[in-house]
Amino acid sequence: MDLNTIPLDSVDRIEVLKDGASSIYGADAIAGVVNVITKKQFQGATVSAEVGKGQHPGGGESRFTATVGTGDLDTDRFNAYFSVEWQGDSRILAGDRPFPYNTSDLSSIGGPDNRAGFPGSFIGSTSAIVAPSVLTPGSPSPAVLNTTQVGGYQPLTSCGPGTVAQSAPSAIAGATDNYCLQNRSNFFDDQPAQQRIGVSGHFTVKVNDNTRAYINASYYQNNVIVDTGPAQLQNSVALNTENIALPPTLPNGSLNPNNPFAALGEYALTQYSFGDIQQDLTLKNHNFRMVTGLIGKMGGWDYDTALVINHTWLDSVQRGLLSASGELAAVTSPICPRHPRRI
């Protein structure tokens, strides 16, 4: 059972049986049992609110609960109470923490340099780099996905904010690659944002001095929002665009103004990350639970019967994925593909 689905205001006590309890709970309880005992009844109303903030940015916490109940089992022979609960935890970005947790470049302490933007890595920075290429003879269509590099990389415009200019010998003999490295850790979460909301109700009737009938129902939803890096122009699913290139001419026959090698009839292999298309994954876990039963005494024996209905389902929404067909259309458009709303 997910303990997040138990409203804290409804908890009366927690019992921990450290020894085996297989005779009561079955073979799964051989190592012990933790029993969360909820309140039999509640009268009145209670409201609580909490706010917390960490020493460093991010990771704030807030929580609100409210419970209201009425009826006395001894005098009214019934009790009903209702609880609502909300909790929110803000995200902690990797960039909000000190070195070495805020960078993907650990070369200064003998580790790897995993910054984005190295030529040929298929993980571009938000400053596009291009390299001249020619159509591979006999390659299949489309041509923009099947070219061969013939020169070094260079920035399409310049290395923009958040990137660092770098140079190194190219994989092409005699050429030099000029490119823009970027620390992508700032886009990722150390702790994702979470929100939890829940409602629950508890209704008990005292049938007689030895018997109580009850029904509990609750619904809880837990949302987790995971931030990941910006969408990549290079992708292997569902269409492999890792070698995508800007063509030298547009469909109307004119030179491609976005291709710096167009006048030479060459393609421009492109490596790029869409800085304004942040990818994220939202997970919504839902849980509905209902328990009804009888508790009492009969013939010198205590009994506790229960019928449990529990349903859990998960919704997953991933945003920031690019359209492969949109990419192919954008590279042949007179509007520069660095404006990703075309894609």
User: pLDDT tens across 148-157, in order?
Assistant: 999 999 999 9
User: pLDDT tens across 258-301, in order?
Assistant: 999 999 999 999 999 998 898 999 999 999 999 999 999 998 89
Question: In the prediction, which pLDDT does 1 show?
Answer: 65
Phi, psi of 267 (to 5 degrees): -80, 170
* Mean pLDDT score of the chain: 89
Q: Using CA atoms, how far apart are residues 218 and 162, in angstroms rounded to an integer?
A: 47
Q: Using CA atoms, how far apart are residues 223 and 314, in angstroms rounded to an integer?
A: 10
Write the DSSP string, 186-246: GGSEEE-EEEEEEEEEEEEEEEETTEEEEEEEEEEEEEEEEEEEEEES---SSS--TT-EE
Q: Using CA atoms, how far apart are residues 178 and 159, in angstroms rounded to an integer?
A: 10
How many of the other CB atoms lie within 10 Å of CB of 140? 8
Write the DSSP string, 266-320: -EEEEE-EEEEEEEEEEEEEEEEEEEEEEEEEETTEEEEEEEEEEEEEEEEEEE-
pTM: 0.79
Phi, psi of 165 (to 5 degrees): -70, 140
238-244: long-range contacts at Cβ-Cβ below 8 A with a sequence spacing of 24 or more? 238/324, 239/145, 239/324, 239/325, 239/328, 240/145, 241/145, 241/324, 241/327, 241/328, 242/122, 243/145, 243/146, 243/147, 243/269, 244/144, 244/145, 244/269, 244/270, 244/327, 244/328, 244/331
- Kindly indicate the confidence band of residue 136, based on its pLDDT and cuts at 50, 70 and 90: confident
Q: Residue 48 carries which side chain, given as an amino acid letter?
A: S
Residue with tokens 């803000």: 90
Q: How far apart are the first and last CA of the chain?
A: 44
Strand partners, 201: 82, 217
